[in-house]
Structure 1
Amino acid sequence: MKLKAIETPKTMLGTPVELTEETIHERLAKVKANMVQSGIDTLVMYADKEHGANFEYLSGFIPRFEEALLVLSQTNETFLLLGNENMKMAAHARIPNKAIHVPHFSLPNQPMDPFVPLLDL
């Protein structure tokens, strides 16, 4: 194998594209239609920094440094289970939701009170 010099690739500079509310609602409708077609009453999406694309697809944000769950039901209820640092993000989510504080989704050495078992939440 021989290495050879190549031309420097051209840099692609572009303008970020904002997702419209219409796009977010279309995504939500598609997910819910697939839930109905598949007989799924409630969909639970896990997310963390490395595995947040599905969560972001609907919510508009990736939980940074913490774990999170997005719980979507066919009855139009959406819950975001979030740790300490991400609780503030629920207000900025792109879909209506109810935020539920789950301290144990937080970084280590963060306040973990009050402890409520996940099943109870």
Structure 2
Amino acid sequence: MGILNSLLQAVTWWNGATLGTMLYTRRKGVKVGEDSQGNLFYHTADDSRRWVIFNGEAEASRVDADWHGWLHRTFNEVPSINPLPHKVWEKPHQENLTGTMMAYAPAGSIRAGGEPKNRSDYEAWSPE
């Protein structure tokens, strides 16, 4: 399975980096750092381009807020060298769970399980 996984990683964009991205990263990439999820961050020598190589599935919500700001040039300081101060009330990063079994399901939803509860604040429309 090792060869098959390597081949899949080389030709699919959602499973790590494509062959073109790997070659470009080897030729022109300068590694800047790594976030808590194992994603690798690079830029060119003249800092004209910045990019991330995901550790696993390419999901934008898996990039920490500090690194997101660096990628989009909100600030130029590298988060691994000069991390942003975090407030006590800030929660740790959580990936986007939409479309998974862990996604939020409000009370009364079919996905929440059980019987839908009767609502007294809603009256179904019926034509005359």
Shared fold, TM over 0.5: no
Task: Kindly indicate which of the two structures has a greater share of residues assigned to helix.
Answer: 1
- Please say which structure displays the higher CA radius of gyration: 2
Task: Kindly indicate which of the two structures has a greater share of residues assigned to strand.
Answer: 1
Structure number with greater CO (CA < 8 Å, separation at least 6) is 1
